[in-house]
Amino acid sequence: MARTATTSDVFNAIAEPQRRQILMLLRTGERPVTELAQELRMSQPGASKHLRVLREVGLVRDRRAGKQRLYGLDARGLRPVHEWTGGFERFWNESFDRLDEYVRELEQERQED
């Protein structure tokens, strides 16, 4: 089965490391594409392409501010990722609980020796 186009699937969009970096930078507030490109050491057209993908999947919003366009994070688009990863929370909690119990058993055995 073919993968969904990057521009329509949030999971594919965030699979690209530079897009994840853009999202991290936007957590602190809106930024123009030129600032993002400079921070990521990439060309402005390259940053614009990544921003377009992120905007199309609903992770980034933009607005005009004078002559420039500011981009901001729209974390609501991450809901499917959060819900999917949240399903693993029980797995990890149970794994850590078992590890904790094992460590306590080892400590108890040491004290008994």
Domain range for 19: 6-112
Picking from 29, 78, 45, 23, the residue whose alpha carbon sits closest to that of residue 37 is 45
- Span 25-42, average pLDDT: 96
CA–centroid distance for 7 within its chain: 16
Question: At CA 82, angle to CA 37 and CA 51, rounded to 5?
Answer: 20
CATH (domain of 32): 1.10.10.10
pTM of the model: 0.73
What average pLDDT score do residues 31-59 get? 96
Q: How many CA atoms lie within 13 A of 84 on its CB side?
A: 7
Tell me which of 8 and 20 has the higher pLDDT: 20
With a cut of 80, say whether residue 5 has pLDDT above it. Answer: no
Other C-beta atoms closer than 10 Å to the C-beta of 86 total 9
- Tens of pLDDT, residue by residue over 43-54, are 999 999 999 999
Residue 42 forms part of a structural domain: yes
Give the torsion sign (CA, 29, 30, 35, 39): positive
1, part of any domain: no
Is residue 39 a part of any domain in this protein? Answer: yes
Which residue matches tokens 């008994």? 112
Domain membership of residue 100 (yes or no) is yes
Query: Quick one: pLDDT band at residue 55, thresholds 50, 70, 90?
Result: very high
H-assigned helices in the chain: 10-14, 17-26, 33-40, 44-56, 79-86, 89-112
Number of domains in the chain: 1
Does a structural domain hold residue 51? yes
pLDDT band at 113 (very low <50, low <70, confident <90, very high): confident
Task: Give a yes or no: residue 46 inside a domain.
Answer: yes
Give just the sign of the alpha carbon dihedral 28, 16, 63, 73: negative
